[in-house]
A and B are shown apart, each in its own frame.
Chain A
Amino acid sequence: MEDRTKIKIKDLNLSIGKQKILKDINLEIPEKKITVILGPSGCGKTTLLKSLNRLTDLYPDMRVSGNIMIDNVDILHTNEDITLLRQKMGLLSQRPYPLPMNIYNNVAFGLRISGRKKKRYLDKRVEHYLKMANLWDEVKDRLKDPASALSIGQQQRLCLARGLAVDPDIILADEPTSALDPISSEAIEKKFVELKQQYTIVMVTHVLRQARRIADYVVFMYLGEIIEQGTASEVFDNPKQDMTKQYLKGSFN
């Protein structure tokens, strides 16, 4: 790959009890591109994504080994503050989970906990990131409303704004459009294409068409293993592995 590598995963293994979730993952994710992780449900895509910002720590019976280098720091074996590390990555989950507070505070949350509390500064940042997520015009008159009052599509954009507000380098997205209607999905997709100017985006999906539309790089996973990886044109137009070919033909899901 000619692009600069942002995330480099070496021999990553992850298991819960005796069950192996991820097997010998080796992967390079390029900077400022959209890398799509494709694969049928239950193949470990989400787990891979979560191990990137060490949300795997939440599950005490999960065992992780290997290296994940982000900007040449091995995040699995680092002394760096885990909260700082997580702030480098914005996370979008399958369904939006707005924090139980109003719209404004959802976006300001990350800023406040990292110690930036001046109201005028926060006002500006909140507006900036809501605009960035194309949500500002819809919510500017009701910033004090609870975030749960928004539609699902709006909530997902709010979660995007909230994630962007902590100024990450990387956006991790776990099937971010799976709960959304087609119009909201398209809005998110378009946004991602725009955002890759500034951010490294890693997106998990099982929607093949979506991957074709926006992916620069594609990683195909099956049963915890990486079957094939490469640029979108390599993988989609000229897959090397039989399994990839079959998956692209839609013969299994």
Chain B
Amino acid sequence: MIIGLVIVILLPFILGIGLYIKSILLLEDQSLFQLLFSGDWRPLSGKFGFLPFIISSVWVTTIALMIAGPICLLTAVHLTQYAKPWVLKLMQPVIDILAGIPSVIFGVWGILVIVPFISDYLAPFLGKQTSGYSIIAGAIVLAVMVIPFILNILIEVFKTLPDELKEASLSLGATKWQTIKLVLLRKAFPGVISAFGLGVSRAFGETIAVLMVVGNVASIPKGLFQPGYPLPALIANNYGEMLSIPLYDSALMLAALVLFVVVMLFNMGSRFAISRLEEKV
């Protein structure tokens, strides 16, 4: 049992160190700063600028969260504060089912529904032209994927709020909405932030569904309707097909390391915020 535990504890470190060792070759050749902030991605000439991928990832994740965040927050408030208890009981398995759908299915759904919707309706409506395979398509698919994930955490967060706090506010003459807005949301704030943080770490690393709809063009995206190329897609698409281009595998490992570090930071930050919430309650 202890051996199993030790292995589990060491796993992230082993992974991180492994990625670092693999990417050292490239780091010895070029500076990290240059790699992260150059937009020039030409592996054949030994140019590995990660900026297009980093920016794509940031865009897709940010927009996905901007879509999913408010939806989740409003739904969680409704389910825990307004809805009858049986609605919440009914919704929880629904949310779990949604969370359990393999991501490739979301990807197919994105190709069949979201991509044509964007190219035929949304983009023309806004006066733009696009194939549909774009940052915004990736973001929408991603948003749908992280909704159950964030929603589950938010429901837990709102459930931990003590009834007495609600009663205290109501007994001072606050209406239900005032109580939610001024007291409950404020009390739950660290929890909401960490739910979003965990959502980000989940979204940032999501690979296959995004890869299928985002277009995968290695240049810095100039708008939401342009194709992008997030980090996980870069790794998934190219590893195994990199022939013998020097340093290419090292570059992909560095991309993986960047991904790993970002996701871990968001994860740890969010967990820290949650633990602070629990202390306070």
Contacts and interface: CB of A to CB of B under 8 A. Distances in A.
Interface stretch (B150-158, B171-179, B248-256): B171-179
A55 B167 contact: yes
B163 interface: yes
A83 B174 contact: yes
Most-contacted residue by chain B among A61, A83, A84, A100 (CB, 10 A) = A100
26 contacts: A50-B167, A55-B170, A55-B171, A58-B170, A60-B85, A83-B175, A86-B171, A87-B172, A90-B171, A93-B164, A94-B164, A95-B164, A100-B165, A100-B183, A100-B186, A100-B187, A100-B189, A100-B280, A109-B169, A109-B182, A110-B174, A113-B173, A114-B173, A162-B172, A163-B172, A172-B171
A97 B164 contact: yes
Interface of A: 50, 53, 55, 58, 60-61, 83-84, 86-87, 89-91, 93-95, 97, 99-101, 109-110, 113-114, 148, 159, 162-163, 166, 172
B168 A93 contact: yes
Most-contacted residue by chain A among B168, B175, B182 (CB, 10 A) = B168
Interface in B141-159: none
Contacts of A58: 163, 166-167, 170
A162 B220 CA distance: 55
Nearest to A172: B171
B82 to A, nearest CB: 11
A95 B162 CA distance: 11
Contacts of A60: 84-85
Contacts of A159: 168
B161 to A, nearest CB: 10
Nearest to B187: A100
B182 to A, nearest CB: 7
A91 B173 CA distance: 11
Which of under 10, 10 to 19, 20 to 34, or 35 or more describes the interface residues of B?
20 to 34
Given A58-B163, A58-B166, A99-B165, A163 B186 contact: no
A99 B167 contact: no
Given A95-B164, A100-B186, A113-B178, A166 B173 contact: yes
A86 B280 contact: no
Nearest to B186: A100
Interface string B177-199: 01000110011010000000000
Interface of B: 84-85, 162-175, 178, 182-183, 186-187, 189, 280
A113 B183 CA distance: 12
B280 A148 contact: yes
Closest 4 CB pairs of A and B: A87-B173, A91-B171, A110-B172, A100-B187
B85 A86 contact: no
Contacts of A163: 171-172
A114 B173 CA distance: 8
A114 B175 CA distance: 10
Contacts of A100: 165, 183, 186-187, 189, 280
Contacts of A86: 170-173
Given A86-B170, A86-B171, 15 more contacts: A58-B167, A58-B170, A60-B85, A83-B175, A86-B173, A91-B168, A94-B164, A95-B164, A97-B162, A99-B186, A100-B183, A113-B178, A114-B173, A163-B172, A172-B171
A97 B168 contact: yes
Contacts of A101: 186
Nearest to B85: A60
B162 A110 contact: no
Contacts of A110: 172-174
B281 to A, nearest CB: 10
Contact of A84 (B84, B167, B173, B183): B173
A87 B178 CA distance: 14
B172 to A, nearest CB: 4
A101 B172 CA distance: 15
Most-contacted residue by chain A among B163, B172, B174, B182 (CB, 10 A) = B172
A21 B163 CA distance: 19
A50 B186 CA distance: 25
A47 B48 CA distance: 68
Nearest to A101: B186
Nearest to B172: A110
A150 B162 CA distance: 19
B167 A91 contact: yes
B280 A93 contact: no
A113 B174 contact: yes
A171 B280 CA distance: 27
A121 B75 CA distance: 38
